[in-house]
Chains A and B, each alone.
Chain A
């Protein structure tokens, strides 16, 4: 069991899922309440990482964030190094990779709030932001927990993007899934087995939390 890789991965997943709360709530808010007729295009774009192979994402991160791209050059002049092969690079890749797993449960729970409550709040003189903060957010607790937990678990299990942009550096970018891959490729099956079991157990616990939290709100799953 490679504890360095384990804690690195937990740290990555915790940072990414926390950031996704901050990034995901405004996006989900907009997706829920916007009446823009092309909104469905944004919805499709947000859902892309669910269907795209991680290799596509990895390829774009490597090329678009590399030193040949304007963004890559800007980042390099700022920090002195490229984004690939760094922990920050993994955070950015994972944010994209796990975005829909946070935004979709958020948006679903916002949309499930009874609209008469929103009208009542407005008629009592509350601004939309106050209504959102005092009515929608508290009523969406289950969706927020779901989005946080799912994006955490999804980042925990990330493999393809990390394989492509990580560079397998111990303590920096060697995540637990890469460690398992290396163990299997070098035929250390018992070591791979231990690590895989730990990951299996944690994933089960996280998903149990998700379904436990939602057992009254949804019959089957957290999505619309």
Chain B
């Protein structure tokens, strides 16, 4: 009896919720910035936005298999392009909302002098494990791999790499002290949860292909207009200011 009532309650509230909410699938590097953007947006417009984070590749695969998302914020541009090519996203909505930055991050207690050593810090014997995101599904993982190859140290460190399912898990591996260094998203390094817990060195932009983070409205969304409006908000000065405070640079200021 109780269970039936609960089920009914869930069904009813669920039905109401989907009528107005939009659901956003977003790259894990947005896990700190996007909730803030949503809070500001909801306050302004009353529009509720549900967020679902993961590796961009995983989310793309979920979208291919019918996941009920309205909008997709990728950490690169390839995944949205693939979805457009497959007819699963609208080309005219494709928008580069930010350029992501990769950083080398170590916990506060680490003896490594990042400003002096830069990427070479990874060769220090005290670094037993280096966490990166999964290059197969996460753009930040691919950027990390490209960086290690760019500096010619990939073969020296490859046996010490531990792979997070997405960039948030990679961050959590170092933050929890289980890995001694990580190639993470700048947006995580600047997020309140990690800001005071470590130091970082920003990987130069020429070390990896630019992380042009693009968003796109999905074709199967039943709330095309609401989704487009949220995407429009991303271009507002308020939104771009917040994104830059998380270390994202904006496509316009691309060097």
Contact = CB atoms under 8 A, between A and B. Distances in A.
A81 B129 CA distance: 9
Interface string B136-169: 1100000000000000000000000111110001
Given A81-B128, A82-B128, A167-B164, A186 B177 contact: no
A168 B134 CA distance: 9
A185 B137 contact: yes
Nearest to A164: B169
Contacts of B179: 85, 167
Contacts of A72: 177
Interface stretch (B54-62, B202-210, B225-233): B54-62
B131 interface: yes
Nearest to A174: B163
B134 A184 contact: no
Chain A: interface size category: 20 to 34
B173 A167 contact: yes
A187 B177 CA distance: 32
Given A167-B131, A185-B57, A186-B61, A82 B178 contact: yes
Interface in A151-185: 163-165, 167-169, 182, 184-185
B236 interface: no
Contacts of A84: 162, 173, 178
B176 interface: yes
Interface residues of B, number: 22
Nearest to B128: A81
A169 B61 CA distance: 22
A62 interface: yes
Given A82-B178, A185-B137, A169 B162 contact: yes
Given A66-B176, A169-B163, A182-B136, 14 more contacts: A67-B177, A68-B177, A82-B178, A85-B129, A85-B173, A164-B169, A167-B131, A167-B164, A169-B161, A182-B137, A184-B61, A185-B137, A186-B57, A186-B61
Interface of B: 55, 57-58, 61, 64, 128-129, 131, 134, 136-137, 161-165, 169, 173, 176-179
14 contacts: A62-B176, A66-B178, A68-B176, A72-B177, A82-B178, A84-B173, A85-B179, A163-B165, A167-B179, A182-B136, A184-B61, A185-B58, A185-B61, A186-B137
